[in-house]
Structures are given as C-alpha cells and as structure tokens.
C-alpha cells in the first residue's frame, strides 16, 4: 500500500492497524494519514483516506501511533532534539490522545 504524495510525508515514524483502519504518522511532517483497508482485497478503500496535521504548538516529535477505538488515536512523542525550537519541549516525551473528526 502506498501513502499518497498529497500526504506530504518527509518520513514514516509509526504505523497502526486495527479493525480495517490504518494510521501512519510522520515525525518530520507532524501529520497522520488514515485510511480504511478492504480486508479481503487487501487494498485501500477508495475515498477513505484522510490526512491530518498535528497542532502546530509543540507537536514536533510524534513518533508512535495506535488505535484506541474506531475514532480515537493515541500517539507518543520523542524527546526534543537540541537543534529544535524550545516550543518542541512542551509536548516531548508525552502521550497524546486525538479524536478523528467525522469517524
């Protein structure tokens, strides 16, 4: 399965699959890509893909992702790197819970 270029991912930091739904996070791009998977065909369901940006303030190092439920993701953040702005320390080494709009 390919993540579309429209996701504008610079890297891939984490992946989670649960109940026919796939989530992939990019640490560098601060985004999550979500799609439904046809279990029999093992293909992405047309029109099911969505891309979300993490809130700009402090979510610099989201590195892991897992589904808590069909509309909720838990993500984890890595430690702020020395070269990153100080705002990145606000949410580093943390656990974050996000609800997916309209899921």
Rounded to whole angstroms, how far apart are CA atoms 89 and 12?
21
Of 5, 79, 89, residue with least CA distance to 31: 5
24-80 per-position pLDDT tens digit:
999 989 999 999 999 999 899 999 999 999 987 889 999 999 999 999 999 999 999
The 8-class DSSP code of residue 73 comes to E
Global confidence as pTM: 0.89
| Residue where the block lists tokens 């985004």 | 31
Q: Which domains does the chain have, with CATH numbers?
A: 10-99 (2.40.10)
At a CB cut-off of 8 Å and minimum separation 6, what does 87 contact? 57, 58, 60
**Which ranges of 1-103 would DSSP assign to H, the alpha helix?**
none
Query: Is residue 2 classed as helix, strand or coil in its secondary structure?
Result: coil
18-33 per-position pLDDT tens digit:
999 999 999 989 999 9
Confidence of residue 103 (pLDDT cuts 50, 70, 90): low
CB 34 within 8 A of CB 47: no
Give residue 57's pLDDT. 80
């Amino acid at each position: 399965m390919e993540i579309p270029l429209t996701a504008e991912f610079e890297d891939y930091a984490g992946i989670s699959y649960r109940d026919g739904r796939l989530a992939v996070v990019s640490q560098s791009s601060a985004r999550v890509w979500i799609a439904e998977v046809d279990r029999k065909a093992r293909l992405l369901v047309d029109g099911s893909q969505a891309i979300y940006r993490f809130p700009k303030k402090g979510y610099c190092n989201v590195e892991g992702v897992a589904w808590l439920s069909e509309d909720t993701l838990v993500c984890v953040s890595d430690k702020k790197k020395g070269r990153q702005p100080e705002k990145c320390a606000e949410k580093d080494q943390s656990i974050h819970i996000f609800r997916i709009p309209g899921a």
